[in-house]
Amino acid sequence: MEPIGWGSIIARMAIQFWPVWAALIVTYAVSITYKRRLGLYGKLFDSPIGMVGFGIVMFWVFTAFFADLIITHDPLAQLSGLKNKSPGIPTPDGSAYPYYLLGGDNLARDVFSRMVMGARRVLAIAPAATAFAFMVGITLGLPAGYFAGKLDTGLSFLANLVLAFPVILLFYLLVTPEIRDTGIPVVLAAVLFIFPVIFMVTLLNSRFFTAPSKRNLYVGVTLVIGLWAYSGLAFNADPLGVWSMEPNLLNVFVAVVFVNAPTVFRIVRGLVLDLRSRDYVAAGQTRGEGPWYIMLWEILPNARGPLIVDFCLRIGYTTILLGTLGFFGLGVSPESPDWGSTINDGRRLLSIFPHPAVVPALALMSLVLGLNLLADGLREESLKD
Amino acid sequence: MLIFLIRRLGIMVLTALCLTFVVFTLTNLAPNLEKLARSEGSVRMTDEQVQSWLANNGYAQPLAARYGEWLGVMPGWTREAEGKTVGRCIANGITAAEAPRFCGVLQGEWGNSTVFKRPVAEILSRGLAATGWLMLWVMILMVPSALLLGVLAGMREGSKLDRALSAVAIATTATPEYVSGVILIAVMASATVGISPVLAEWGWIEGRTLFQGTATSAMDEITFWNFGLPVLTIALYGMGYIARMTRASMTEVMTAQYIRTARLKGVGFREVVLRHALRNALIAPFTVIMLQFPWLLNGVVIVETLFNYKGFGWTLVQGAGNNDIELLLSCSVVAVLVVLVTQLISDIGYAYLNPRIRIS
């Protein structure tokens, strides 16, 4: 068989992505129909930039979700004779798909399938790590901004300490095989992962403080689920074996949360410092509301605009950080199809066979660009009211 | 102003001490030391031999004591062995009596690299000089173009020009160095794909490629051919951010009262932008450019690895990858100092430039 040209490669890729197109069309149709009832999310569809950004982000989200349907070959399988072959090369008879759509890499694996599977890796870690960083940043930033004083000075000093570290140096110190033996990642995980539990418990406790029976139920359920997940994720000691994280992944996850949390802390603290002098806070204090109720149920909802925008930007930044880790070969298994390590693998033969590195590079770039555009659209729309 | 300066300097020294202690602890973890013992002594050492090697070389002391020695505030260890005194500060050719008591970073003793088998100070100064050239060209390219981009975009908010330039700025911030570097090499430095074959065919360029994909030769002689891509790669990523900040600051200034007054007085748009708006709009970007240094440090590490340019970032990666404790520690000290000093300069510069925030 002859190698196929770029026209048919693109057409075949478009066909391969059919579940994504279908899901995107459904999402857009539903969202645009009901956009007046969907709050800030609905308003996103008034801004062209936001819509494009949302489209790109959802494209990758659906790609990650339907990755098993989209891939043409096993991302780890090697087909002999297809090492470094250019896009559109036909595969031997009896393979799962007649072509390597985007060529083969230096181990004769399918670049296209690896790129698609890489999306799953990235989108499984980046949003979760960002969410954890936000929980830590919010739980510490709210009291620092609200109470100020010594607490603020101490926490700010710690945050600045972490921020003064060049990120790459921190990664080289925190994400190494040796450090796993010393147990430092587990200690860090134990500290960082408890914050979401604290956050949820305080959130519910302050809300339902006046209705003890409800409060006890909600806080109890949160504590059980939270500590259950906590034991599994941080210590790998879940008695039922539902929650677990392999040590490699835990190491990467903890490092990324650790790098991101201080910045979130600074943003939240700044917002709270600004908002706490508002009248509605004074009104709450006069009504006798507790400090945590005011922080979590009065100030936080009013700070949501900038926080949502920063959340989008930060997922993009976390994606970049994960790519950096992969690029330096830190904390990922060598077989892993994630974009950073694929770029790293491909860069050695870059000027002769560019496609194995350029494909994941473009994928990563488009995802981050989508997130940036989405953040821009959200910022524009949230400023309107 | 003086009190402000002294307080800032005090916090800076405290931060530097904390950070170096953290790095010291993390590089001197037990597994790292064991690896060091095996690589310096012998690979086939038994566990007891490893322990005695560590004890003989002063690694068995408490962590705080070793940190003090490394910093140079505690006397270096000494030990009697085979009738001779050996110690941290006693190098070849110096007798125990002549050797200084203190030999740490503060005394300028940065130790020896185990990978390169040479003094760390020598390796670092060479690496920093190389990175200095890279940074210089990055700054020359990045700052003016970013400011121009930002001012042009922020001059008339919402115009077509603004939209287009903002899109460019967003695209560059969304492209980390390892992505843009890879794409730039594929497009401009490959003899098989991209624009180089076309240009070579038309006879527009001398060699086979427009740029070189590696910058190793730039260590000896910097040319447009071998240095263009690394500089462009770092500059692109930083440029978008500075441009966006400049744009935000420029749009804010352009809606200010005094700009309206100037416009109503009949001053031309060009004149207003150049004489009235620009100076005030450039205060915020100054801080951003200064705070950009730590980010550039990241970029430097990535780009020097990608283009194989043996500067500071490359040295850091070598030190970290090969468990070269002294080298990694020294690299960290330099990196942390760069970050802290730029923060200080940005604070002082901001207070100095902006008359509303003069601290007294």
Residue B358: the pLDDT is 56
| Residue whose token pair is 């899109």 | B167
Give whole-number Cα distances, B241 to A168, A380, B170, B172, in Å. 19, 18, 8, 8
Angle, CA of B164, B169 and B174, to the nearest 5°: 125
Q: A362 — contact with chain B (CB < 8 Å)?
A: yes
- For chain A, domain boundaries: 121-315
Closest-CA residue of B relative to A350 is B186
B136-157 confidence digits (pLDDT tens): 999 899 989 998 998 888 888 8
Rounded to the nearest angstrom, the minimum Cα separation between B241 and chain A is 12
Q: Give the number of A-B residue pairs with CB atoms closer than 8 Å.
A: 133
Residue B303 has pLDDT above 80, yes or no: yes
Residue B90 clears pLDDT 80, i.e. is over it: no
pLDDT of residue B322 exceeding 80, the answer is: yes
| CB-CB contact of A260 with A267 (8 Å) | no
- For residue B20, give the 3-state DSSP assignment: helix
% chain A with pLDDT above 90: 35
Q: Which residue did the predictor score with more confidence, B358 or B38?
A: B38
Question: Does B13 lie at the interface with A, CB-CB under 8 angstroms?
Answer: no
Span A239-249, average pLDDT: 79
Backbone angles phi, psi at B78, to 5 degrees: -135, 160
Arithmetic mean of pLDDT, B267-274: 86
DSSP 3-state percent helix, strand, coil across chain B (nearest 5): 70, 5, 30
Q: Which residues contact A267 (CB under 8 A, 6 or more apart)?
A: A137, A141, A306, A307, A310
What pLDDT sits at residue B354?
67
Distances in whole angstroms, Cα of residue A52 to Cα of each of A288, A369, B169: 46, 10, 16
How far is the C-alpha of A214 from the C-alpha of A210, rounded, in Å? 9
The per-residue DSSP string of A42-68 comes to HHGGG-HHHHHHHHHHHHHHHHHHTHH
Shortest alpha-carbon distance between residue B92 and chain A (Å)? 32
Angle of CA points B218, B223, B226, to nearest 5°: 55
Task: Please report the residues numbered 160 through 199 in chain B whose beta carbons come closer than 8 angstroms to any beta carbon of chain A.
Answer: 170-171, 173-176, 178-179, 182-183, 185-186, 189-194
Which among B134, B131, B107, B109 has a CA at the least distance from the CA of B119?
A: B109
Residue A300, amino acid: L
Give 3-state DSSP helix, strand, coil % of chain A, rounded to 5: 75, 0, 25
- B27/A173 touch (CB, cutoff 8 Å), yes or no: yes
pLDDT of residue A146: 92
Please tell me the distance from the alpha carbon of residue A230 to that of residue A226, in angstroms, as a whole number. 6
Q: How far is residue A253's CA from residue A186's CA, in Å, rounded to a whole number?
A: 11
How high is the pLDDT of residue A136?
94
Minimal CA–CA distance to B139: which of B300, B304, B309?
B300
- Both tokens of B207, joined, read 């060699």
Whole-angstrom Cα distance, residue B29 to residue B24?
A: 9
First CA to last CA distance, chain A: 60
Closest residue by Cα to residue A373 from A323, A312, A314: A312
Contact B191 A346 (CB under 8 A): no
Q: How far is B258 from chain A (nearest CA, A)?
A: 25
Confidence of residue B357 (pLDDT cuts 50, 70, 90): low
Round to whole Å and give the CA distance between B197 and B191.
6
Q: Is B190 close to A354, i.e. CB distance below 8 A?
A: yes
The answer to whether B333 contacts chain A (CB < 8 Å) is no
Q: Is B44 left (phi over 0), alpha (psi -120 to 50) or beta?
A: alpha
Q: Using a CB–CB cutoff of 8 Å, tell me whether B234 touches chain A.
A: no
Q: Alpha-carbon distance A168 to B317, whole Å?
A: 9
Mutation target among A47, A157, A169, A358 for the B interface, most CBs of B within 10 A: A169
Contact A169 B316 (CB under 8 A): yes
- State how far the Cα of A320 lies from the Cα of A327, in Å rounded to an integer: 10
Taking the CA of residue B328 and the nearest CA in chain A, the distance in Å comes to: 9
Interface check B233 vs A, CB under 8 A: no
The Cα B233–Cα A186 span in angstroms is 36
pLDDT digits (tens, 9 = 90+) for A89-109: 888 777 778 888 888 888 888
Question: Which chain A residues have a beta carbon less than 8 Å from that of B209?
Answer: 351
Mutation for A interface: B28, B165, B180, B182, most A CBs within 10 A? B182
CA distance to partner chain A, nearest, from residue B75 (Å): 28
A358/B170 Cβ within 8 A: no
* Binary contact (B339, A164; C-beta < 8 A): yes
Q: In chain A, whose CA is at the least distance from the CA of B295?
A: A166
Q: Where is B229: in which H helix or E strand?
A: helix B224-254
Regarding predicted confidence, which is higher, A197 or B353?
A197
Is residue B238 pLDDT above 80, yes or no? yes
User: Is the CB of residue A172 less than 8 Å away from at least one CB of chain B?
Assistant: yes
Judged by average pLDDT, the poorest of A149-158, B193-202, B257-266 is B193-202
**From B186, B298, B331, residue closest to A350, measured CB to CB:** B186
Mean pLDDT of A107-121: 87
3-state secondary structure of B119: strand
Judged against a pLDDT cut of 50, whether residue B360 lies above it is answered with no
SS3 A90: strand
Q: Do A340 and B194 touch (CB under 8 A)?
A: no
Euclidean distance between CA atoms B153 and B169, whole angstroms: 10
Which chain A residues have a beta carbon less than 8 Å from that of B307?
A: none
Query: Which residues from chain B sit within 8 angstroms of residue A157, using beta carbons?
Result: 11, 15
Tell me the chain A residues in contact with residue B298 when contact means C-beta distances shorter than 8 Å: 166-168, 324
Of A320, A312, A292, nearest to A138 by C-alpha is A292
pLDDT at residue B192 is higher than 60: yes
B72 at interface of A, judged by CB pairs closer than 8 A? no
By the 8 A CB rule, do B183 and A361 touch?
Answer: yes
Cβ–Cβ gap A343/B174 under 8 Å: no
Does B65 or A137 have the greater pLDDT score? A137
Tens digits of per-residue pLDDT, A282-323? 999 999 888 999 999 999 998 888 898 899 999 999 999 999
Classify B120-359 by CATH class.
mainly alpha
Where do the structural domains in chain B lie, given as residue ranges? 30-107, 120-359
Mean pLDDT of chain A: 87
Q: Distance (Å, rounded) from C-alpha A372 to C-alpha B106? A: 44
More confident residue, A9 or A241: A9
A141 CB within 8 Å of a chain B CB: no
Backbone angles phi, psi at B84, to 5 degrees: -115, 155
Task: Give the residue among A163, A158, A320, A264 at the shortest CA–CA distance from B336.
Answer: A163
Q: For chain B, what percent of residues have pLDDT higher than 90? A: 5
